[in-house]
């Protein structure tokens, strides 16, 4: 799977003071009308519990240059919980989930269902609101390293 390129996201949930989040590449669109996304979350993570308790989550698509933020939320720096949110600007959209202000794109979702598969849950959410910064180059993960995407039109 290390040779399958994937977008880098931060999945977040929880109100201020109880926010949680993790870096994820297992995120994808499920349906367009109405829009739904899915995320795969380890059931042992605090964020997993927060998502199911609050009934909402946000998917923040990272941009090139946000590798350190991906590492922070990925646990590589030993930072946990609310402390992961320090040093970046966050705001709230419809559901109350934290949205990264300068994310390439962000999706605010309400949980509609979840399915247990081995150690993880596949959590499906209906998109309530979305934002984007079209000028940002999306961050990707490939072969255990970060890369950034440039579309055929080369607009970045």
Assess if residue 144 is contained within a domain. yes
Distance CA 156, CA 154 (A): 6
Residue pair 70/144 in contact (Cβ under 8 Å)? The answer is no
**pLDDT given at position 152:** 59
Q: Is residue 116 part of a domain?
A: no
In a domain, 13, yes or no: yes
User: Can you tell me the distance from the alpha carbon of 39 to that of 129, in angstroms, rounded to the nearest whole number?
Assistant: 16
Residue 120, domain member (yes or no): no
Whether residue 51 is contained in a domain is answered as yes
Task: Judge whether 138 lies within some domain.
Answer: yes
Is the pLDDT at 4 greater than 60? The verdict is yes
Q: Quote the radius of gyration of the chain (alpha carbons, Å).
A: 15
Q: What is the mean pLDDT of residues 58-63?
A: 96
Look at the alpha carbons of 36, 39, 44, 47 in this order and tell me if their dihedral is positive or negative.
Answer: negative
- Structural domain tally of the chain? 1
Average pLDDT, the chain: 92
57 in helix, strand or coil?
strand
pTM of the model: 0.93
| Residue 38 within any structural domain of the chain | no
Domain harbouring 50, CATH code: 2.30.110.10
Residue 92 sits in which domain range?
Answer: 6-26+46-108+129-148
pLDDT, residue 137, reads: 85
Q: Look at residue 13 in the predicted model and tell me its pLDDT.
A: 97
Asked if residue 115 belongs to a domain, the reply is no
Residues 105, 131 contacting (CB under 8 angstroms)? yes
Vertex 25, ends 87 and 94: CA angle to 5°? Answer: 60
């Amino acid at each position: 799977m290390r040779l399958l390129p994937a977008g880098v996201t931060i999945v977040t949930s929880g109100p201020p003071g109880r926010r949680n989040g993790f870096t994820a590449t297992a995120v994808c669109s499920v349906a367009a009308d109405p829009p739904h996304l899915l995320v795969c979350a380890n059931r042992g993570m605090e964020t997993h519990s927060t998502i199911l308790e609050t009934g909402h989550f946000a998917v923040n698509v990272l941009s090139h240059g946000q590798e350190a933020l991906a590492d922070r939320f990925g646990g590589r720096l030993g930072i946990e919980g609310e402390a992961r949110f320090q040093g970046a600007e966050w705001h709230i959209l419809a559901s109350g989930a934290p949205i990264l202000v300068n994310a390439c794109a962000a999706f605010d979702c309400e949980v509609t269902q979840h399915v247990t598969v081995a150690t993880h849950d596949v959590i499906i959410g209906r998109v309530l609101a979305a934002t984007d910064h079209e000028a940002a180059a999306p961050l990707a993960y490939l072969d255990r390293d970060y890369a950034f995407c440039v579309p055929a039109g080369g607009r970045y």
